[in-house]
Amino acid sequence: MENVAQIVFPGFWFGKTDPQEAERWVEMGVGGFCLYGGKPEEIRSFITKLQKKSKVPLLFCADYENGVGQWVPGGTEFPSNMAVAATGSEDFALKKGIATAREAKALGVYWVLAPVVDLASCPDNPIVNIRAFSDSPLLVSRFATSYLQGLKKEGVINCLKHFPGHGESRFDSHLELPLLNLSRAQLLQREVKPYQNLKDLADAVMVGHLKIPSLDKQFPTSLSRLVISDFLKKEMGYEGLVVTDALAMKAVSEDSQAGAWALEAGADILLVPEDPFKLRKTLERGISSGTIPEERVQSALKNLAFFRKNIKNPSQGSLDVLGCSEHALWAKQMAESALSWVRPPSHPPVKSGEKIFYLEPGIQKDSDWQGKAFVDELRKLGVRILSGTPSSLQISLARNQTQSTLVGIFSKPQAYSGAIHLNVESRKKLRALLEKVRRRVLFSFGSPFVFSGFSYEAGLCAFSDLEHSQRAAARALLRPEKAVGRWPVSL
């Protein structure tokens, strides 16, 4: 079947993938691309060139979970989903969706692979964490609803991910296949609830690479007919497009039949395969041999065609919208409203003119700090920063040069990292160091789960490491009442 290649969506990394290779994929007949990185004009030029070469309208998607600026310089980057939930304002979720859609459209990207509707229920999960709105199915559903409405308002296609729920995993599926020993009842009570609540708003659902024996003892969820066709489509009644998570992820990439099994199982789009040419041949062999029913292929193509027709005004807008003042203001307001005390101080921990020591675990010199904006804002507020290595803190304490020590912790999800928290040795060293300090204030510019196991007088979480978040956190140090966020997860 000549047009089966339309359900293949290769990944394209600007500055890494050969553009001529992408043109050959278009000649092969792919239906679209998943884009990573790129500069605005570069992305637009790439999309325009490939659209002219393609026999069918190409659909371009991207992981703009926190706005276009997460991947594209000049675009607006927003605080994490968890930060948005911490504001308590669903209007911010709506605005995040609106701004992301506007900027994506300007580039020619009409499919945003968001929102994440997994639950932040496992503190050790290395890949979800602050990408989730909350550990509450109700809160996730509420904020995701507003975000989806924002994308829809601007005519951009959405995608819920990662079905049936990646929140309870302790492993990164970019590196290995996570095993979730949850019963079907447990999944229905929690993990699956956001998908059930949001299915009528969802244009697409991305199926994660997970091993869940209670659903399928043989296949991962992304390759499982029992999960996709029987559970998601028939039992839950979902009628939209189904897309796999990236097939190049190590959870499934070593199996040459993964793409064919996913299509047979009910997936309509096979996302980011390692070798698109090889995948097409595998699909063609499966169709010829009858292992992939032709009606399954036709169903996928029909779903994709319907998907394309629902794109409103498929044209590129002005690039002036990227990083515009309105979107920048929304991002700033979100960052300020998200600040949440895990342990509020009884009085301002630091005063203008006071000497304090700033420390980041594992960082040995000031030039490597991730919290440069935080420190810069403190200095603007008149705080005198004593900095350096843990050994210099020892000297500072011995000389009675400082009363307070601020610890900035930057732990957030990162694909292929396999971990999110400070390692055991780093935590041990930090605990030993803090025992000698008179006043200890911990700041998390990411995960809300990093505070456990430490002794401290005050702890503040920003759920984001953006410059707006760092500067707002610095201001809250002198005026604690400025941090008015609502804690979105249970500790």
What residues are annotated to the active site? 174, 245
Closest C-alpha among 337, 357, 363, 368 to residue 475: 337
Instruction: Provide the token pair at 224.
Output: 């499982």
Query: Between β-strands 204-207 and 241-244, what pairing exists: parallel, antiparallel or unpaired?
Result: parallel
Structure tokens at 486: 């609502």
Please, are residues 201 and 149 in contact by the beta-carbon 8 Å criterion? yes
Sign, CA dihedral 242-134-454-460, equals: positive
Q: Which amino acid is at 297?
A: V
Q: How far apart are CA 25 and CA 12, in angstroms?
A: 11
Residue 324: its H or E element: none
Measured between alpha carbons, how far is residue 200 from residues 61, 149, 166, 167, 239 in Å? 21, 12, 21, 22, 8
Question: How would you classify the pairing of strands 439-444 and 458-461?
Answer: parallel
Structure tokens given for 352: 């203008």
| Contact criterion met (CB below 8 Å) for 131 and 165 | no
Region at 128 (left for phi over 0; alpha for psi -120 to 50; beta for the rest):
alpha
Q: Report the distance separating Cα 115 and Cα 19, nearest Å.
A: 29
